[in-house]
Structures are given as structure tokens and as C-alpha cells.
Amino acid sequence: MSNDKYPNLDFSEIENKVVNAFNEFDLAGKRILAVIPDNTRTAPIDIMFRLFYRHYIKNVKALDFMVALGTHPLLNMDQKLKRIGVTLKDYNELYSKIKIMNHRWDIPETFIKIGSLSKGEISELTSGILNEGVDITINRTIFNYDKLLILGPVFPHEIAGFSGSNKYLFPGIGGWDFIDTTHWLGALVTNMNIIGIKDTPVRRLIDRARDFIDMEIVYFNIVMHKNDIKGLFIGNNRLAWEKAVELSSKVNIQYIDKPIKNVLSIPSEKYDDFWTASKGVYKLEPIVEDGGNIIVYAPNVKEFSYTHGKIIDRVGFHIKDYFLANFDRFKNESPTVLAHCALVKGQGEYRNSVEYPRINIHLSTGIDKERCKKVNIGYINPKKIDVEKYKNNDDYFVVENAGEILYRLS
């Protein structure tokens, strides 16, 4: 994949865009909340933090940041400072008036209801895939501010099609019911039919939910390729995100001539549980031939999910048709967790009470063999993985730092 015709943005270009946005979107004298991703997303939040401080702080009533965790683990102070790229000493001496907040998804009082989607509207938006209404809730803290700035990268995504924009609201700082709805919808459609597609049923629901927030939102849509900044598209409507999707499609999707039998996926070490490291499965599933294998090599990963691990231990990894056929057994479990387990397992068929996944997923992580067996996923001892030997083996396709580049068949 060549990116020669998609040059990196230099610092002065980024700075000019940030400065121009201040005037274009009337930020002077306002209370500003910037919503940012956690450390599992590659984005130059450190650069943007300094630019916002340099050009905004003296001319606004408040400038604070909230980490859009969805249901990811809360960040401690060191992790927050890592995200914004400052030391504790510098924060205390220079930036202490700026709040760096976690989205406290773990506290019910965090949320306030802002609207509802009827089953009829959901059916229309999802082309009949879902027919249940849902309440829309969001972190009430946002209403202490005059404007929201959404700051995050736009990558191919297994549930929304592409990340970015309103996805940092829902699920980023949104409530559980709507997260359950969108994730289960994504599982029903399947990763293969969503990832890397701009217009998806999930994206339509997310964008509709944004309509219930009665305040201006300015989107800073960033396009990354690895650690390079390829684009920054700023706007207060969908158009800026669409431009980011167009560029991300060019720099973050790699095409392969023919299906691959065996893939060794080595997720980035920024993913510290399998909930996030599973991006190393989603981004590679489309190129694996029927009956093929993805080995996820991530010795640093010791847990299925720090938030949802106990539920995963109960329900296991299965194709969506397995969960649908056994719905009474799983009806009281989290739809978000069921969705994750179905997306990991991938497409397949369920016949005569037996599931037949299209491909096989094997974990070579810090999660032990017995636990993998219990949840219906393959296991390979990570001590037996010699990455260099796999690279030199024509039977394997090795992808390092997997999780953000989508691989597709040409």
C-alpha cells in the first residue's frame, strides 16, 4: 500500500486548521468540552491538546477534556496524562485548570435521558433488522458546557463501518441501552458486511441519536496511517466526517489478490485485553479463506475483557446464529457482550444444533488453554510462536501492529 500521494500534514497545517476553527465556530467566551479517545486509539491527542491550550485557553470560559471510554476501563492519572502527552509536573504547573475526566459509565447517575427511538423508526433505519425501541441517554456532564468538540481518528470499524464523529458520543459517552442496541445490530449484520463501509445501519442509528443533543458539536476528524497524520477535517456536520472516511478508505484499507489460508495477527501492544485486541481479528477476517485460520499472537493480553470478562466466561464465543437459536439461554446476558463474542467468532452456519464457523480463531496470548477451551475458542501456546519463522513460512501471512489497517480482497 503506497501512501506517496497522500502526504502527511505538517504541524503548521494542523495549527492553522485549529486556529481557523476557533473563529469559524464562534468558540470565544464559551465553555468548551473536548471529547477524546482513550489510549487504544492512535491519534495525535498530545499535539491537539497543546494547540487547544495555546490558541483557545485565554479566550474561552472553560476548556476541559473527557475520555470517551464507552465501557472500557477507567484511566488512572498516569494514563490520562499519557493520552494528552504531558508529565505530572507540567500538568500541575501549567495545565491544572483543565479537567481531564473519565466518562464514568460505571455510575448510573452519570446518565440523563435525552430522547427515544421508537421501534418503527429503528426498523426503518435498520431496514427491518431490528424492531425494538430504545431510550437514548448520555453523560449529563456535557450540558455544563456551551459547545462540544469531538476529537478522534476515523478508521474502518467492525460495528459502525467507520469510527469517528458521533461514535465518540455513542457509545463513547452514551448509555448502556443504546450501546446494547447498536452492538447487537452490528453482530446481526456481521463484521464482514459492515467494516470499511460508510453507510451502515449502526451508523444511521448513531447519527440519529446525535439529533437529541441540543447544542452545537464541532468535529475534529483525524485520519491516521500508522503514526502519520494524513488528514484533519473540521466541521459541525456530517460532511467533515465523510471527507475523513474518503481519505481513510484510501490509506487504511489494503487489498490482497487472493484469499489467505493462515494469518498470524500480532495486535498492537496498546490493546491490553482481548476486547480491544480483537481488532486484530476483525481487520483480517475478510481475507481469510473458508476453513482458514487467524492466530492472534498477543502475549501481553492476560484477560478477555477487564470490564466484561466474567460474562464472556459464561457465554463463550459463538456465531450469531448459535446465540439466536439458543436465545432463551442468553436472553438475560448483555447484548453488547454477546455481540463481541459473535463478531470474534465470525460468520458461519448453525445446523442440527452444531455451529460451523467459516474460519477458525486461535488465541496465543496470556490467557490459558483451559479458559480458552471453556469459551469455545482455539489456543496455541505463545511460547511456541516464533514470529520470524512464521514470516519466512509461505503458508502464513503475518501482520504486525494489527488492529487499524483493514485487509480486503481486491
The pTM (predicted TM-score) of the whole model is 0.96
Strand pairing category for 62-67 and 100-102: parallel
Any domain includes 81? yes
Q: Is residue 3 part of a domain?
A: no
Domain extent for 303: 254-409
Residue found under cell 491490553: 272
Q: Which amino acid is at 78?
A: D
Q: What is the mean pLDDT of residues 320-328?
A: 98
**The three cell numbers locating residue 310:** 466474567
pLDDT digits (tens, 9 = 90+) for 5-41: 899 999 999 999 999 999 999 999 999 999 999 999 9
Among 309, 297, 319, residue whose Cα is nearest residue 382: 297
pLDDT digits (tens, 9 = 90+) for 40-74: 999 999 999 999 999 999 999 999 999 999 999 99
Is residue 5 situated within a structural domain? Answer: no
Instruction: Give a yes or no: residue 6 inside a domain.
Output: no
pLDDT of 144 above 90: yes
For position 2, what pLDDT does the model report? 46
Domain boundary pick from 251, 279, 303: 251
> 184 and 281 share a domain?
no
CATH of the domain at 242: 3.40.50.11440
Q: Are residues 240 and 335 in the same domain?
A: no
pLDDT value of position 1 = 46
Task: Collect all residues with Cβ–Cβ distance below 8 Å to 344 and sequence separation of at least 6.
Answer: 278, 281, 317, 361, 377
Q: Indicate the residue among 229, 251, 273 that finishes a domain.
A: 251
d(CA 399, CA 296): 10
How far apart, in whole angstroms, are the C-alpha atoms of residue 179 and residue 14? 32
Domain-located, residue 144: yes
**In terms of domains, do 244 and 270 share one?**
no
Exposure string (b/e) for 345-376, b if CB count within 10 Å is 16 or more? Answer: bbbbebeeeebebbbbbbbbbebeeebbeebb
Same domain membership, residue 247 and residue 303: no
Does 4 map to a domain?
no
In this structure, the answer to whether residues 315 and 226 fall within a common structural domain is no
Q: Which among 251, 276, 291 is the end of a domain? A: 251
Name, in order, each residue with C-beta under 8 angstroms of 282's C-beta and a sequence gap of 6 or more: 158, 191, 195, 343
- Based on the fold, state whether residues 281 and 301 are members of the same structural domain: yes
In total, how many domains does the chain have? Answer: 2
The predicted structure's pLDDT at residue 3: 56
Hey, what's the cell of 207? 447519527
Encode pLDDT of 219-271 as tens digits: 999 999 999 999 999 999 999 999 999 999 999 999 999 999 999 999 999 99
Residues 356 and 389 in one domain: yes
Residue 340: CB atoms within 10 Å: 26
Residues 36 and 170 in one domain: yes
For the segment 268-283, the average pLDDT, to the nearest whole number, is: 98
Same domain, 266 and 202: no
Asked if the structure places residue 134 within a domain, the reply is yes
Model confidence pLDDT, tens digit, residues 83-125 = 999 999 999 999 999 999 999 999 999 999 999 999 999 999 9
What's the pLDDT score for residue 34? 99
In this structure, the answer to whether residues 76 and 209 fall within a common structural domain is yes
Are 310 and 164 in a shared domain? no
β partners of residue 400: 266
Q: Is residue 330 part of a domain?
A: yes
Read off the CATH number of the domain in which 335 is found: 3.90.226.30
Question: For 197, how many CA atoms within 13 A lie in the half-sphere containing its CB?
Answer: 18
Same domain, 243 and 269: no
Query: What pLDDT score was predicted for residue 5?
Result: 86
